Amino acid sequence: MAWNVIPAARQQPGELIGGVWVVLQAWPIANLYTLALLGPEGARVTEGYGDWTVIPVRRNVGITEWAGRRNYAMSLDLLYDGWIQHPLRPSLPASFIGRPWLPPGRPDYSNGVGLWLEAILKNLEQLATPGRDMVTPPSLRIYGAVPHTDIRWVIQNLEWGDSIRDIVTGRRMRQQVTVSLVEYYQPTELQKLPRGKAK
């Protein structure tokens, strides 16, 4: 499958959307994404606030010094459910190029229906590991009722939970996974600083 790269002028962050769907999309690639239901644990921001450093002072109270804001980190509970009957699809903004396709109804692997679940889980793994022609995994944009959809993220870890499998094929029909995310930040401003004069 060839990557459909989003032009730089149209690369926008994700957005807060209603419903119970969460979509993770590779930042520069339109056709590399995964979508799942927001699990009961939801999205929990675990880092991203004060980073105070205490400098010890001999025989006195330590001096507190502001070291800067930590990168945001978030734990995202997702449920991939192939048993949904006629799911309400997410209403995504125009910045999402390539609408996610999700067939309705219970998975019936005997006639090929429901194979989307394994494919979309494979996409999740591709978002967490370097793909072909990639040195690093892609950064992500997030759509859904989760915090900080306006920033870029990368996947730190995938913790696979319980699953229900078809007894004949072994394919997954329901899968829970906890996605550990960390804020992606590249200091491009440093490139704009004037160069020092050679001595």
Domain extents in the chain: 20-55+62-186
Name the band, by pLDDT with cuts 50, 70 and 90, for residue 105.
Answer: very low
CATH number of 20-55+62-186: 2.40.30
Q: Where is average pLDDT lowest: 98-102, 141-145, 186-190? A: 98-102
Mean pLDDT in residue range 1-20: 76
E strand or H helix at 45:
strand 33-47
Backbone angles phi, psi at 71, to 5 degrees: -65, 140
At 119 the pLDDT is 81
Cβ contacts of residue 53 below 8 Å, gap of 6+? 64, 65, 66, 67
Would the pLDDT of 59 be above 60? yes
74 burial via Cβ count (<10 Å: 0-12, 13-18, 19+): buried
Name the band, by pLDDT with cuts 50, 70 and 90, for residue 171.
Answer: confident
Separation of alpha carbons 154 and 187, rounded Å: 16
Separation of alpha carbons 13 and 96, rounded Å: 9
Of 50 and 163, the one with more pLDDT:
163
